Amino acid sequence: MKEIPLYIHIPFCRNKCSYCAFYSCINHSQDIEGRFIDELKKQISSYMTLTVSDTCNTLYIGGGTPSLLKNDNLKDLLNFLERYIGSNLQEFTIECNPEDINNEFIGLLNESSVNRISLGVQSFSDHVLKASGRIANSKSVDKAINCIRESWKGRFSIDIISGLPGQTAEGQKKDIEKAVNSGVDHISCYSLIIEENTPFSDDPKLLEDREDEDLLWDICRKALLRRGFEHYEISNFCKKGCESAHNLQYWKMNQYIGCGPGAVSMTGIDGIQRISNPHDLNVYLKGSSVNWSVQVEDISVKDFIFENYMMGLRTASGIDRREFHRRFSRYPEDFINMTILSSPEKTFKLTDKTLSLSENARLFMNSILMKISDELETLKIDFPVHWP
């Protein structure tokens, strides 16, 4: 029985948030939504067959705004996915926006195999939400959280963005307090990145007026650590044992499939390949994705090894040495000896099972990755690669 992680991208939103660079469409018709679900189901079946997979060990429905789907369409999709859910299902997450949460919606999720909600809160302050183009306000956020607490049977995570325009140190602290007090077991805390071609990138004044983003993010980090959350990945915090199983698949560089426009797959069917779907709903609806015929990028072994460091060292648990050895016939420390020796003491932690970075080193990992990249330049690939 072969298992694979599955990511599903739902490309619809009510409006575009001012910081968001993800592909999504607004004002879509019900007809388009139905046609999209049909095409999506075809792509999922096709990719499960192409990767010779029977079931999904983790699933993640993201977007876009999955909670914006009409209940009938969501039900149709969830029913369809049941055929890929085996007894080993670890996690099935759906991303939701606060304005979509009500008892009927939660009831629908409770009847399905979904076992984790990821709620896009971003901030609890009205002026910050408004300045970021969010639809939700503090009232609808509170209402959504209360509804989840009262009716939802599964796990619950919240997304927060630090350093949004109008945010202050005091406000940032309050956002984290409110998020923790909502009873979540997981908080993703992203520092605002100004992406190209977003309303924020067209507003240089906004950048001048912002509080120090590193300071605001560090306020979040310290507050979460104080409240007993573990900082298990650069932007992710959780209560003990509540890591996101699906996202861990990416950080471990496991094979996965992504369906829906805007989704990406990483597979080892024909060499190591990253396969991207068209970021265009109309093209997607013509069925171009079904036959694996979309944009395919071949990843060289050297680049793939680098990505194993880049992703694995993001996590507190680090790189699994045995799995690395299975993939490359060497342990992770073998390829980056010089980097380890030339780094300050305690930058790297080497145990029987893992190679990882210290909490402090993870905060400055870009410079470490540059050293690793330079050292890998000289690497001779004279060994077989076993992946996935």
Please report, for residues 93, 148, 262, the alpha-carbon distance to residue 274 in angstroms, rounded to integers and kept in the order given: 23, 36, 13
Token output for 385? 């690669």
Site string for ligand SF4, 74-113 (x = CB under 6 A): -----------------------x----------------
Nearer to ligand SF4, 17 or 361 (CB): 17
Q: Does 64 bind ligand SF4 (CB under 6 A)?
A: yes
User: CB under 6 A: which stretch of 51-59, 62-70, 186-194, 296-304 binds ligand SF4?
Assistant: 62-70
Nearer to ligand SF4, 65 or 123 (CB): 65
Q: Compute the least distance from the CB of residue 126 to ligand SF4, in Å.
A: 17
Q: How far apart are CA 198 and CA 21, in angstroms?
A: 6
Q: Compute the least distance from the CB of residue 308 to ligand SF4, in Å.
A: 29
Q: Compute the least distance from the CB of residue 120 to ligand SF4, in Å.
A: 6
Residue with tokens 């029913």: 79
- Contact in structure between 192 and 161 (CB atoms under 8 Å): yes
User: CB under 6 A: which stretch of 61-69, 194-202, 276-284, 371-379 binds ligand SF4?
Assistant: 61-69
Q: How far apart are CA 176 and CA 124, in angstroms?
A: 9
Position among 53, 58, 65, 188 found at the interface with ligand SF4 (CB under 6 A): 65
User: CB under 6 A: which stretch of 60-68, 199-207, 255-263, 288-296 binds ligand SF4?
Assistant: 60-68
User: CB under 6 A: which stretch of 58-66, 151-159, 180-188, 327-335 binds ligand SF4?
Assistant: 58-66
Q: How far apart are CA 65 and CA 95, in angstroms?
A: 7
Three-state SS for the chain is CCEEEEEEEECEECCCCCCCCCCCEECCCHHHHHHHHHHHHHHHHHHHHHCCCCEEEEEEEEECCHHHCCHHHHHHHHHHHHHHECCCCCEEEEEECHHHCCHHHHHHHHCCCCCEEEEEEECCCHHHHHHCCCCCCHHHHHHHHHHHHHHCCCEEEEEEEECCCCCCHHHHHHHHHHHHHCCCCEEEEEECCCCCCCHHHHCHHHHHCCCCHHHHHHHHHHHHHHCCCEEEECCEEECCCCCCHHHHHHHCCCCEEEECCCCEEEECECECEEEECCCCHHHHHCCCCCCCCCEEEECCHHHHHHHHHHHHCCECCCEEHHHHHHHHCCCHHHHCHHHHHHCCCCCEEECCCEEEECHHHHCCHHHHHHHHHHHHHCCCCCCCCCCC
Residues from 116 through 135 that contact ligand SF4 (CB under 6 A): 120
Q: Compute the least distance from the CB of residue 64 to ligand SF4, in Å.
A: 5
Nearer to ligand SF4, 134 or 321 (CB): 134
Q: Compute the least distance from the CB of residue 118 to ligand SF4, in Å.
A: 11
Nearer to ligand SF4, 63 or 163 (CB): 63
Nearer to ligand SF4, 5 or 64 (CB): 64
Nearer to ligand SF4, 97 or 157 (CB): 97
Q: Compute the least distance from the CB of residue 369 to ligand SF4, in Å.
A: 27
Q: Compute the least distance from the CB of residue 11 to ligand SF4, in Å.
A: 9
Q: Does 63 bind ligand SF4 (CB under 6 A)?
A: yes
Q: Does 61 bind ligand SF4 (CB under 6 A)?
A: no
Q: Compute the least distance from the CB of residue 15 to ligand SF4, in Å.
A: 7
Q: Compute the least distance from the CB of residue 100 to ligand SF4, in Å.
A: 10
Nearer to ligand SF4, 196 or 352 (CB): 196
How many residues make contact with ligand SF4 (CB under 6 A)? Answer: 11
Residues from 5 through 44 that contact ligand SF4 (CB under 6 A): 13, 16-17, 20, 22, 24
Q: Compute the least distance from the CB of residue 281 to ligand SF4, in Å.
A: 14
Token output for 297? 């990028």
Residues from 180 through 219 that contact ligand SF4 (CB under 6 A): none
Q: How far apart are CA 272 and CA 255, in angstroms?
A: 9
Residue 374: how many CA atoms within 13 Å on its side-chain side? 10
Q: Which residues bind ligand SF4 (CB under 6 A)?
A: 13, 16-17, 20, 22, 24, 63-65, 97, 120
